Structure 1
């Protein structure tokens, strides 16, 4: 279980807020968030999604920021700029609608990669008439317990 000051506590708090009756049972095991992302007007010509290799993320360089959506206020984690540039980022060039990207964005298990920062960026060779990217992201919470 995460302590109050560890990155990822906001995920646990979200589960407690949205599923108060089931939270104790659900949080008694491992919690993961899996993201599914794909363009719906591919191929992506500009602003592709980039995913960071979570093994290269220094969690002490993640900053918690407020997130407000309607009546809900929570937090998100963002990586701070790191001039050592040890993070490894990946993206799919010209990702098409059939190219679905799955990645784990949170994991409560000790010893596992906890976070996978992701973002979009401008390609240096983007044509002036490039279509704006339209995409969809779905997140699934996965709860598992040891036997």
Structure 2
């Protein structure tokens, strides 16, 4: 286990603010955060012992995220990753249809990345092609879920049509997260077991693409990461599921770790890809 520093949102009762304030455009993205020391459990043993691991879908159901070792050949040029990721998710989860609706490349190197501006933005159609070589964003800080259920349902309809929930028995919003180089020794992605995350630790805000979830700290939460993650070690993050059964994880809060305190060796700049998809069954 590794002790690391992460940022989480400060609850409204501590701030003395009405939660509705953060649903206003331009305000939600400025939700105050606090640094917390969190224990991270290593997922590497699961990747090294796949014969004892649950299937990717079982992992998504039970805890809201999955770890998968990519056994196929190299993904090839970045320009080909759109098709590769769609096919990868279909193969891993057995989805009937998979569509990419957005993507982001990130780097922790300030000389390389371009921060988001603070202007409210609501994406109203899937972005064709992946945003890989031309626009690199900073690593994300602050535990969150990209969209809440309302925001995710809007995105699913934009990606696959207004009748997507009538056409399919189950619709999920999944992010595929992978480093471009390894091992990752700084700002790794941490994910929370969704079954340990309670509604009392949830705040709703106006996010970059739709309404989103901000995560508050709780001692009951169990956080994970892949120690010294390599480019063939994938994290699948569940953002939304139209068919979450009782006892299953609805989603997984996640964030870039702000400080590993040198636990994984000399730190080098993190470079990663996050591809955001809608999967239908």
The TM tier, using the shorter chain, reads: 0.7 to 0.9
Cα deviation for residue 95 of structure 1 reads: 0.4
Select which of 109, 119, 132 maps to 2:243. Answer: 109
Select which of 94, 99, 113 maps to 2:233. Answer: 99
Structure whose residues are more often strand by fraction: 1
Deviates more, 1:121-130 or 1:105-114: 121-130
Deviation sequence 1:72-93 (CA, Å, 0-9, x none): x5211111223xx111111011
Equivalent runs, 1:2-21 vs 2, <5 Å? 7-16=148-157, 18-19=158-159
Deviation sequence 1:79-111 (CA, Å, 0-9, x none): 1223xx111111011101121222323212142
* 2:227–2:264 CA contact under 8 A, matched in 1: no
Q: Distance in 2 between matches of 1:128 and 1:102?
A: 25
Q: CA RMSD in A?
A: 2.2
**Uncovered stretches (5+) of structure 1, i.e. residues with no partner:** 1-6
* 1:46–1:126 CA contact under 8 A, matched in 2: no
Equivalent runs, 1:37-56 vs 2, <5 Å? 37-56=177-196
**Uncovered stretches (5+) of structure 2, i.e. residues with no partner:** 1-147
Structure whose residues are more often helix by fraction: 2
The equivalent of 2:212 in structure 1 is 76
Q: Which structure is higher in RCO with an 8 Å CA cutoff and minimum separation 6?
A: 1
The equivalent of 1:141 in structure 2 is 278
Q: Distance in 2 between matches of 1:110 and 1:53?
A: 15
Equivalent runs, 1:112-123 vs 2, <5 Å? 112-121=248-257, 122-123=259-260
* 2:156–2:173 CA contact under 8 A, matched in 1: no
